[in-house]
Amino acid sequence: MKIYMNGKLVPERAAKVSVFDHGLLYGDGVFEGIRSYNGRVFMLDEHIDRLYRSAKAIGLEIPMTKRGMARAVVKTCKANKTMDGYIRLVVTRGVGTLGLNPYLCKRPQIIIIAANIQLYPKKLYSEGLRIVTVGTVRNLPEAVNPGIKSLNYLNNILAKIEAINNGVMEAVMLNGQGSVAEATGDNIFVVKGNQLLTPPVHAGILEGITRNVVMDLAAREGYNVSETTMSRYDLYTADEVFLTGTAAEVIGVVDIDNRKIGDGTPGKVTRGLERHFRKFAKSTGTPIE
Ligand code: PMP
């Protein structure tokens, strides 16, 4: 595999980062996870916009234009023939001293990894996920805003640990007010009749690109889509619950905190949106050739 590092494509074994990089020392940096479908990069501009917004929010100036970044992503996919893949775009603060001061880091480090896709097993989509709500509160927007896709994912990892220790693969975090925020790497939706509900960005979530696509697709399908503050009550009493994310796409949730959701199988609306989303994802994107 060839890795893009600061303007060059280098062999995987040569793709090394300094131990003084503040991405490693402090989780000081930002990233994106992007998919390619059928030789096209899905929602590339949206991901790049979010990357630059995250960087701006942490005062990290990416030494490259957005267009240059888009070209670098496509180039890396091409070099690795990543036609159906998962792309990781990372920008760290760069090499500094052992102290915190980010201004001593001379140059951000830009890394692009275009890997072959590891899809979740098909069975998970037909059977649905079991998840739990956890005690780990989502980062407070006043502290580290969850809208920043930063390299510090400890908040999410702590929630993931709670999920796994409870015998399931995914956790839902609540925010500081006890409202539903999001899963560790996915946004969450509730279906109630013809209504599709999802927490608003100000609930303290990452504004998922899949989330936004699904909201548009669902509205076009005639669902009444709204961003609403929700409690665990809304999850437990939902007709259907599903998660959205770049890696997961749209995946049904059938059990939350050992309570069955709906009839305990992924619902019709979820399966419909899952199909619609895939069809859409395969029909659009920035060509790799
Ligand atoms: N929330 C969190 C915390 C995430 O890490 C992700 C994955 N990037 C998402 C939601 C889903 O966002 P997207 O649809 O843009 O992948």
Q: Determine the distance separating the centroid of ligand 1 and the alpha carbon of 245, expressed in angstroms.
A: 5
Q: Which residues fall within 8 angstroms of residue 16, CB to CB, at 6 or more apart?
A: none
Residue whose CA is closest, atom 4 of ligand 1? Answer: 185
pLDDT at 125: 96
- Residue 36's pLDDT is what? 97
Going along the chain from its start, the domains and CATH numbers come out as 2-115 (3.30.470.10), 123-281 (3.20.10.10)
Give the burial class of 186: count Cβ atoms within 10 A of its Cβ; 0-12 exposed, 13-18 middle, 19 or more buried: buried
Task: Report the distance separating Cα 22 and Cα 107, nearest Å.
Answer: 11
Cα distances from 214 to residues 9, 28, 39, 100, in angstroms, run 34, 31, 22, 39
Distance 243 CA to ligand 1 centre (A): 10
d(CA 225, CA 215): 6
pLDDT of res. 118: 73
Return the bridge partners of 108, or none: none
Residue 15 has phi, psi (to 5 degrees) of: -85, 85
Query: In which residue ranges of the chain is pLDDT below 50?
Result: none
**Residue from 206, 242, 277 whose mutation best tests the ligand 1 pocket (most atoms within 8 A of CB):** 206
Residue among 287, 286, 280, 120 at smallest CA distance from 213: 280
Q: What is the pLDDT of residue 129?
A: 97
pLDDT of residue 15: 98
Question: pTM for this one?
Answer: 0.98
